[in-house]
């Protein structure tokens, strides 16, 4: 089980496609999983994989502290934190102050707040693994994506700083960077931008050397690797799961 058996894993954005797939994979490898999401679990997804669930807005510090205290009290101190939760606002120089405040509060602030209150639990366990989700958008410029890309660049910077800060505690911190993955978020983004979904899927597929978009299971497998003892000598790194997107 690669050292994952019995470990407690907290997955933000746990009801989303990437978060839920990651939670499923960690559960299959023996972890006790807690899903964290701003939405209510009306479909009973957590129950479907025998996971805990906490509804919380990760941009609200008081709520995050309460949620993390609840996880420690009801499930135990976390060994693994997977930050998949994200706000999707795609704008360029026309972005408003409200746009920046919203996306920064979730993508940067929320990721940071979850780490702030989970790290003490990891210290009690003698170590842990934090996996922050960035993107290929955290490496390149994309037209009218300034708001989103800026936060994904920032996630990579946070990861490298935290890797240095937390190494003495035995806590590894890495960034997982997917390419285009066929998810509900992808579909929703197309709709927001007024794009034809099938046409955009073909266009996105052609951007990758493997000529397709990725599957959520492939990203989840990479997350499980970074959480496991198989990655015990990896910290401060960016793991690309991008089908060769950045190699073109």
SS3 199: helix
pLDDT at position 192 is 82
Mean pLDDT of 121-132: 98
Report how far residue 118's alpha carbon sits from residue 122's, in angstroms, rounded to the nearest whole number: 7
Render the burial of 229-246: b for 16+ CB within 10 Å, e for the rest: eebeeebbbbbbbbbebe
Is the pLDDT score of 156 beyond 70? yes
75 assigned to some structural domain: yes
SS3 25: helix
Q: Residue written as tokens 């360029």?
A: 92
Hey, how many other C-beta atoms are within 10 angstroms of the C-beta on 16?
Answer: 21
Distances (CA, A) of 174 to 36, 235, 246: 20, 5, 18
pLDDT at position 1 is 59
| Structural domain that includes position 151 | 8-179+215-247
Percent of the chain, pLDDT > 70? 100
201 assigned to some structural domain: no
Is the pLDDT score of 2 beyond 90? no
Provide the H-helix boundaries in 87-215.
97-103, 111-125, 146-166, 184-192, 197-206
Longest dimension (CA), the chain: 50
195 assigned to some structural domain: no
204 assigned to some structural domain: no
199 assigned to some structural domain: no
Strands (E), the chain: 8-12, 32-37, 52-55, 80-83, 128-133, 171-178, 238-241
The pLDDT tens digits of the residues spanning 106-125 come to 999 999 999 999 999 999 99
Count structural domains, the chain: 1
Domain containing residue 18: CATH number: 3.40.50.720
Whether the CB-CB separation of 227 and 80 falls below 8 Å is answered with yes
129 assigned to some structural domain: yes
Give residue 188's pLDDT band: very low, low, confident or very high (50, 70, 90): confident
55 assigned to some structural domain: yes
The pLDDT tens digits of the residues spanning 210-231 come to 999 999 999 999 999 999 999 9
pLDDT at position 114 is 98
96 assigned to some structural domain: yes
Residues taking part in catalysis: 148
The pLDDT tens digits of the residues spanning 37-95 come to 999 999 999 999 999 999 999 999 999 999 999 999 999 999 999 999 999 999 999 99
pLDDT at position 44 is 96
- Interacting residues of 23 by C-beta distance below 8 A, sequence separation 6+: 9, 11, 14, 33, 35, 49, 51, 82
């Amino acid at each position: 089980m690669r050292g994952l058996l019995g470990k407690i894993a907290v997955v933000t954005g746990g009801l989303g496609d990437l978060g839920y797939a990651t939670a499923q994979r960690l559960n299959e490898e023996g972890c006790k999983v807690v899903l964290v999401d701003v939405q209510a679990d009306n479909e009973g997804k957590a129950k479907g994989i025998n996971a805990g669930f906490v509804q919380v807005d990760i941009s609200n510090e008081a709520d995050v502290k309460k949620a993390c205290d609840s996880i420690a009290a009801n499930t135990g101190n976390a060994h693994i934190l997977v930050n998949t939760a994200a706000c999707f606002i795609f704008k360029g120089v026309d972005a408003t102050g409200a746009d920046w405040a919203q996306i920064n509060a979730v993508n940067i602030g929320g990721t940071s707040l979850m780490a702030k209150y989970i790290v003490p639990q990891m210290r009690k366990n003698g170590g842990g693994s934090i996996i922050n989700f960035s993107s290929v958008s955290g490496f390149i410029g994309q037209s009218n994506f300034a708001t989103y890309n800026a936060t994904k660049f920032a996630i990579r910077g946070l990861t490298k700083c935290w890797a240095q800060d937390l190494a003495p505690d035995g806590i590894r911190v890495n960034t997982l960077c997917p390419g285009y993955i066929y998810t509900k978020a992808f579909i929703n983004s197309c709709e927001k931008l007024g794009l034809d979904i099938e046409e955009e899927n073909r266009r996105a597929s052609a951007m990758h050397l493997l000529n397709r978009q990725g599957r959520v299971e492939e990203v989840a497998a990479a997350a499980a690797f970074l959480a496991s003892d198989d990655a015990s000598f990896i910290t401060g790194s960016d793991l690309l799961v991008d089908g060769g997107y950045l190699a073109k």
